[in-house]
Structure 1
Amino acid sequence: MENRQNTGLKKRKLLRTVREQEPAIKEMCQALKEMESKVKNLRDDNNRLRGELLDKDRQLAVTRTLLVDRERQLTKTQTLLADREQQLEARTLLVDTKEFETEILRLKHLLAEKNDTNNYAALVSPETITEVIQKQTPVSPARTPVSNRTNTVQSSVNAIVHHGSFQDEAREASC
C-alpha cells in the first residue's frame, strides 16, 4: 500500500506541478504558435522575394539580349551610314568633277569665241568693212546721193564694230 500511497502522492505532486506550470506552458505554446506563424510568414516572404528575384533576373536577361541586338543594329546602321556617306561623297565628287569639266569646256568655248571675234575685228578694220559694203551695196549710185551712201556705210561699220565689243564685255562679265 505504501507503494500505492507513494504512487498516489507522486501523481498528486505531478498534477500540482502541472497545474502550477500550466499557465507557463500555455504561454510557451502560444509563443511557439506565434513563432511558427512568423516563420511561415518569413518563408512565404522569402519564396515571394525569390520569385521576384527570378523574374528580375529573367527581365535582366531579356533586356541584355535586347541591348545586344540594338547594339548590333546600331553597328550595322553606323556601317550603312558610313557607306552611304562615302557613296554620297563619291557622287558629289563626281558631280563636282562633271560641273568643273562642263565649266572648263564652256570657258574654253567662250575663249575660242573671244579669240575668233578679236581675230575677226583685227582682220576687219572699219576701212575694209566700208569697202566691202560699198562693193556689195545693190543700190545704184544714180538713185542714192553720195552723202547718204557714206552715212549708211559708216553706220553699218560702227554697228559691226560695236556689236563685237558688247558681246565680249557681256561674255567677260558672265565669266
Structure 2
Amino acid sequence: MKTLWLSAGILAAIVLISLTLFLKGNETVSPLKCKAFSRATIDVQNGPLVFSTVENLQLYNERKEGMIHYNGYVKSPDANTYLERTIYLSSGVKIDKDTFSYKINRIVAAPLDTTSDDTFDQMWLENTSDNKTITLNIKNIRDGIFTVSSPYSLQYTCVKY
C-alpha cells in the first residue's frame, strides 16, 4: 500500500511539472511593430526645444531584440534641425507582464540628421539615464493600441502595424 501511494505521488508530481513546463513553453510574446507621432517640449537653459517626431518601435524574437527609430524635426531658439536616429536593442528580458529591459547596442544618426548629439540627448534622457540600458513598459490599452513608457516618463501611445 505504501508503494502505491509513493507511485501515485511521483506520478502526480511528474504530471504537474510537465503541465507547468508545457504551459510556460507556450507563453510566447509576439513581435511588435507600432508607430506614433509625438510632440514634446523640453525647457533648457537657452530656451525651449520642441521635438516633433514619428517614433517607430519594433521588437522581435519574442521581444529580445528590436529598435526604436526617431524621425522628425527639432525646433530650438538657435535653429530648426532634422532628426533621424535609430537605437538598436538586444538582450531583452521580460521583467513582468508589460515591462521589458534591453541593452542598447548602439545609437546611429542617419546621414541627413542635422541635430546635435547634445540636443538629441535632452530628449533621450526622458527614456533612460544612460546609453547602456532602457526599460520599456508596453501596455495594451485597446486592440492594437499601446502605451509605451519608461520609468522616467510616459513616452507615447502607438498604433500597431
The structure where helix makes up a greater share of residues is 1
TM-score, scaled to structure 2: 0.30
Greater relative contact order (Cα 8 A, min sep 6): structure 1 or 2? 1
The structure where strand makes up a greater share of residues is 2
> Computing the radius of gyration over CA atoms, which structure comes out larger, 1 or 2?
1
